[in-house]
A and B are shown apart, each in its own frame.
Chain A
Amino acid sequence: MREEKVTINLLKWLESQGWSIICHDFPQSGTGLMIHPNSNANQNEKNKGGIIPDIIAVRNSEAAYFENKDRFVKSDFAKLKEIKLSGNYSEGLNDLLKKYGVTKINYGVGIPSLTKEIDKSKEHLDGIDFLVSADNDGNIIIHHDINRIFV
C-alpha cells in the first residue's frame, strides 16, 4: 500500500471519528502546509528547514500530528521525537492551532497493516505518542496510543 493510500484511509477514519482535518499531504499531492522553525530555533541539520505534516487533525482540545509512510522508516520516529522534545516548531504549530483551543499536540506514525512493518515500528515507540495502521479496506488498527486520544 502506498503512502497516499495510508493517508487517505486515515483521513476518512479520523473524520468518521469526529476529528477535523486541519491539513494533509502525501507525495506529489501539492496540498502540504509547511511549518517553519521557530525564529530562535537551534538550527541544525534536522530542523534547518520547514516541516510538512502528513496529517494534522483536531478533536476537542487534542491535536494529532501524523507522519505516514508505506513501511517502517526509523528516521520518521527520530524526526517526530525531535519535533516533540525540542519544541523547535512550536510557534508555527501554535499559530496554526490557536483557534481550535488545542491544549496538547500528540505525535505519531501511520503505516500499512503489515505485520513485519508493525513489529519493527513497535520497537521504536519511546519517542512517539501513537502508532496506527491502515489496511486496503480502510480498517484502522490502533497499536499504541499513550494518551488515549483515539478512544
Chain B
Amino acid sequence: MNYRIWYSTEPFADFVINNTELKNKTFVKKKMYESDANNAKNFHTMPDHIKKILYLDAPDLIVEIDHEPIFSIEVSTEAGTGHNAFQRFARLAASVENNVPAFYIYPEAAIITRKGSPPQWDKINPLVFKALDDVMSIYKIPALLYYYPSDFRMHPADATTSPNLLTKGILHDTNRNYAGSPLGTDNEMLRMFDAINEIIAIFERTGIIKGREKLLSNRTLIDRRTFMNNEYVYKGGNLQMSPLSATIKVKTEYLLNYLSQFENQNYSIGELLRSREETIIYKVDALFRGDPYPGALAAIDYLLCREGKSFEERKYNLVIAWSDVELEDNAKTLILNGTKGKIDDFIKAVQASENKNILSKNYAQLENHEIPRYYMQVRYGSTYSKVKHVRVFSYFADAILFPDGSLWRDA
C-alpha cells in the first residue's frame, strides 16, 4: 500500500511518521496548499479528493492510502476558553464531512498573562468534548481530542510556578527535527500514536469502506471516547456554555416574518426554512469577521441542529445573526438592533475573493501556468477562492442576518 502524507509543516509530519507505524510504510510526503484564496499559485495542483476536505478549512495533516484519506490531524496550542476551543472546529468538520477520522490536539490549559494580572491557566471549554461526541454520533467516524502536553496537571493551582511560562506551560518536543510539535513522550501523545496505529491496521486489514464501519467499535477508540465523555462531566460541561450561551431557539414563523420584508408578488421564501418548525439563532453582536465564529457556528450545528450527515438533515434551521436579537411577540418577528454588523462587510469580503478569480480573462491573457487554475475555476467557480470564513458561514448557515440586510437558502 502506498501512503501519501499531506502536511502544513514538515516537522509535524515527521513527528507523526516517526512515532507511528507510518515509519514502516512506503510513503511520500507532500506539502498541502490550503486554498485558492491564500495560495493561488499552487492550490489547483492538489488532488480533487484532498480539495474536497480542504473546502471548509485545512487540517494540519492528512494521511491517505492509495488516494483514500484515512485520517487528519489538527493541532493547536491556543488557550481554549469560551469560543476559542471551537476556533478550529471547521477543520474537524472538513474531515469528518468527508468520512475521514479526525484527531484534535489541544491543550487542557495554557498560561495567559493579562495586563495587570499574574499569569493564570486558561482552561479548555469542556463543551468541545460534547461537540466531538455528537460529531461521532452523526458521522459514525472518530473525532478524538488528545491534550497537547502541558504542565497544567503539575502546577494546577498557580501558573506562576510553571517552569515553562515562556511557552505558556505548553510542552514541545525537544527534538529540533520536530520543532513546533507536541512532546512525543507525553502519555497523551503515546495514546494518540496507539489510536493512529489502530486506524492504520484496521484500514489495511479490512479496506477503506469496511474499515470506516469498524473504527468506532475498536477498543482503543472506545476507551478514548469514554475518556472524553468523562472529561466533559468532570470539568463541569453543560449546554449553557459558550458558544451555546449566545444562541436562542425561536419559532421559525418569527424568522419567516422577519424575512417577509424581502418577499413580493414575484418572490416568496422557499421551502427549506419552512420545513423546520424551529430555528436556532447564533447571535454575534460584532463587526463581521472570521475567527472564532466560523468554527463556533460549525460546532453549534453538531451540538443543536444536525440529525444526519448532510446539512439538509437538521432538526432546526441554523441562522447566524450579526446583531443582538429580540423577539417581537405581537408581530411574531425578530428585531435586530445591533449597530456593528453590516451586510456590506460580507459583500465586500465576497467581492474581494471574486477579484482573485481569472474566469473573466481572455485565453490570450492567460499565462501558461495559469491555465490549469483557470480550468479548475471553470469547473468549481469561486468554490475554493472565497476566504475561509465566507466559505464556512455560507456552508453551515441556512440564513445570515444583518440589521441592514440578509442572505438565506431557499432549498
A→B interface (CB under 8 Å): 2, 4-5, 7-8, 11-12, 15, 22-24, 26-31, 33, 96
Contact = CB atoms under 8 A, between A and B. Distances in A.
Contacts of B10: 2, 4-5
A27 B9 contact: yes
Given A23-B166, A26-B179, A31 B9 contact: no
* Most-contacted residue by chain B among A2, A23, A27, A30 (CB, 10 A): A30
Interface string B66-80: 000000000111100
B176 interface: yes
Contacts of B76: 30
B219 to A, nearest CB: 32
B8 A28 contact: yes
Contacts of A11: 176, 179
B179 A7 contact: yes
Interface string B1-32: 00000001111000000000000000000000
Given A28-B60, A30-B77, A31-B167, A8 B177 contact: yes
B176 A29 contact: no
* Most-contacted residue by chain B among A4, A12, A27, A33 (CB, 10 A): A4
Nearest to B168: A33
Given A22-B166, A27-B9, A28-B9, A4 B176 contact: no
A31 B176 contact: no
B172 interface: yes
- What 3 pairs across the A-B complex have the smallest Cβ distances? A29-B180, A30-B77, A31-B180
Contacts of A7: 179
A26 B180 contact: yes
A33 B166 contact: yes
Contact of A4 (B11, B166, B167, B172): B11
A2 B32 CA distance: 13
Contacts of A5: 10
17 contacts: A2-B10, A4-B180, A8-B179, A11-B176, A15-B176, A23-B166, A26-B9, A26-B180, A28-B8, A28-B9, A28-B60, A28-B180, A29-B9, A29-B11, A29-B180, A30-B76, A30-B78
